[in-house]
Amino acid sequence: MNHKEISRAVIGRLPRYYRYLGELKEEGIERISSNELSIRMGVTASQIRQDLNHFGGFGQQGYGYNVNNLHEEIAKILGLNIEHKLIIIGAGNLGQALANYGNFEKRGFHIVGLFDENKDLQNTNKRDIPLYPMEHLEEFIASHQVDIAVLAIPKAAAVEVADRLVACGIKGIWNFAHTDLSLPKDVIVENVHLSESLMQLSYRMIGK
Amino acid sequence: MNHKEISRAVIGRLPRYYRYLGELKEEGIERISSNELSIRMGVTASQIRQDLNHFGGFGQQGYGYNVNNLHEEIAKILGLNIEHKLIIIGAGNLGQALANYGNFEKRGFHIVGLFDENKDLQNTNKRDIPLYPMEHLEEFIASHQVDIAVLAIPKAAAVEVADRLVACGIKGIWNFAHTDLSLPKDVIVENVHLSESLMQLSYRMIGK
């Protein structure tokens, strides 16, 4: 499997397969045909087959998909079998919302610390994730083998903080700041630009 | 302009053009060639021309783009010249984070109320957006002409709340609950599935 040959569109759909298969598992369903899966997910059966064929298929003629097996295989493709240590930069409402979201943990994303430049900030975190001042950043990343940092800070501070994170060896940045980061190629940046999503909603509301 | 003919990929890029043009405006830059814009944005000049040609082009041979004009035109395409009234369902950390984000207001998205089923919840909102119990939902939407609802609640409650919203005439749902909503066709749903974005980061980290 060569990751580079697979389009962003296909990858973008994998987490949704993973979610539906997880729900089927919870319902105790052991196998499903691509037709049944397509009805549930509201996509065509041929799309499902095409998407999964990028990774070797997994289905069997006349049997369909083994739910448990396919769920595990997609987890592996997405790297959910690898444990990640995350820190969140910015302990405002957004940072705390992300820290409180227990589902990340289930998928191998362990949030080990929150950081904020405001030393007087109260830690409202419900999951006892410790809050540190920004001066501790470098030492903490080194001693805790953190590999992913979440940027839940305003745009103005994001570039400088991202450079600090990269200098400490962070390899993945989940960026909620509304700016594009120019970082070395071996650092992966995944952007969540919320206002862009809201603009797409607005676009689709006038176009319908 | 027929919205239906334009791909999601093109639409997905428009807010980024809008952001870059806004930054150019702030810097006092009045015109820009597609080459200069392409360098700034890290995309090809031909991509920019192709994307904007879907809406009539806007560029002039030998002149490039008028920044102010193009910024306004993209705003219109995205519907940012139309005022929207939003309510946020769920006044936890995520709901409060969204309510506190002043930039939505600048783009015509006015957040007029927060709703939560927990009547004892403290309103930590910094922008004086009022917090109401869920019983007031129907009356509030009718009397305030709300057109967009933001779902910042867990998956389990989302389907029922979405049905209530649609029954009140809400035409756009910005859905942060990790589930797909099956709603009438004239209701536009824009999903923000945060854990799916995190999975894509993880995928790209192993693939690099």
Segment B101-131, tens digit of pLDDT? 888 998 999 999 999 999 888 888 888 999 9
pLDDT band at A34 (very low <50, low <70, confident <90, very high): confident
* Conformation bin of residue B169: beta by default, left when phi > 0, alpha when psi is -120 to 50: left
pLDDT band at B4 (very low <50, low <70, confident <90, very high): low
pLDDT band at B143 (very low <50, low <70, confident <90, very high): very high
Per-residue pLDDT averaged across A135-158, rounded?
96
- CB contacts of B108 in chain A (<8 Å) are 202
**Which token pair is A120?**
């007087």
Partner A contacted by B197 (CB < 8 A): yes
pLDDT digits (tens, 9 = 90+) for B59-101: 777 788 999 999 999 999 999 999 999 999 999 999 999 999 8
Residue of B nearest to A10 (CA): B200
Beta-bridged to residue B66, according to DSSP, are B31
Partner B contacted by A19 (CB < 8 A): yes
Percent of chain A with pLDDT over 70: 96
Per-residue pLDDT averaged across A92-110, rounded?
91
pLDDT digits (tens, 9 = 90+) for B8-33: 888 889 999 999 999 999 999 999 99
pLDDT digits (tens, 9 = 90+) for B189-201: 999 999 999 999 9
- CB contacts of B102 in chain A (<8 Å) are none
CB distance B200 to A12 below 8 Å: yes
Partner A contacted by B13 (CB < 8 A): no
CA of A36: how far to CAs of A33, A45, B188, in Å? Answer: 5, 8, 25
Residue of B nearest to A13 (CA): B196
Q: What share of chain B is helix, strand, coil (3-state, %, to 5)?
A: 50, 15, 35
Identify the pLDDT of residue B185.
93
Partner A contacted by B18 (CB < 8 A): yes
Q: Is there a contact between A206 and B79 if contact means CB atoms under 8 Å apart?
A: yes
Please report the sign of the dihedral spanned by the C-alpha atoms of residue A179, residue B191, residue B79, residue B14. Answer: positive
Partner A contacted by B166 (CB < 8 A): no
CB distance B74 to B18 below 8 Å: yes
Smallest Cβ–Cβ distance between B148 and the set A100, A171, A201 belongs to A201
pLDDT band at B1 (very low <50, low <70, confident <90, very high): very low
Identify the pLDDT of residue A12.
87
Smallest CA-to-CA distance from A96 within A57, A127, A53, A117 is with A127
Say how far apart CA A28 and CA A25 lie, in whole Å: 5
Distance from CA of B169 to the nearest CA of A (A): 13
Residue of B nearest to A12 (CA): B200
Q: Which amino acid is at A93?
A: N
Per-residue pLDDT averaged across A133-145, rounded?
96
Partner A contacted by B188 (CB < 8 A): yes
**Is A128's pLDDT higher than 50?**
yes
Residue of A nearest to B101 (CA): A195
Partner B contacted by A63 (CB < 8 A): no
CB distance B173 to B181 below 8 Å: yes
**Which token pair is B139?**
């009356």
**Is A65's pLDDT higher than 70?**
yes
pLDDT band at A160 (very low <50, low <70, confident <90, very high): very high
Identify the pLDDT of residue B3.
54
Q: Is there a contact between B208 and A194 if contact means CB atoms under 8 Å apart?
A: no
* Residue A34: other Cβ atoms inside 10 A: 17
**Is B5's pLDDT higher than 80?**
no
Per-residue pLDDT averaged across A75-86, rounded?
94
Q: Is there a contact between A82 and B188 if contact means CB atoms under 8 Å apart?
A: no
Smallest Cβ–Cβ distance between A79 and the set B185, B192, B202 belongs to B202
Rounded (10°) angle between helices A45-53 and A34-41:
110
Identify the pLDDT of residue B208.
57
pLDDT band at A1 (very low <50, low <70, confident <90, very high): very low
Q: Is there a contact between A94 and B94 if contact means CB atoms under 8 Å apart?
A: yes
Residue of B nearest to A75 (CA): B199
How high is the ipTM of this complex? 0.91
Q: In chain B, what is the straight-line distance between the N-terminal and C-terminal CA atoms, in Å? A: 39
- CB contacts of A170 in chain B (<8 Å) are none
Q: Is there a contact between B15 and A193 if contact means CB atoms under 8 Å apart?
A: yes
Residue of A nearest to B7 (CA): A204
CB distance B43 to B71 below 8 Å: no
Partner B contacted by A31 (CB < 8 A): no
Per-residue pLDDT averaged across B33-41, rounded?
92
**Is A119's pLDDT higher than 60?**
yes
pLDDT band at A126 (very low <50, low <70, confident <90, very high): confident
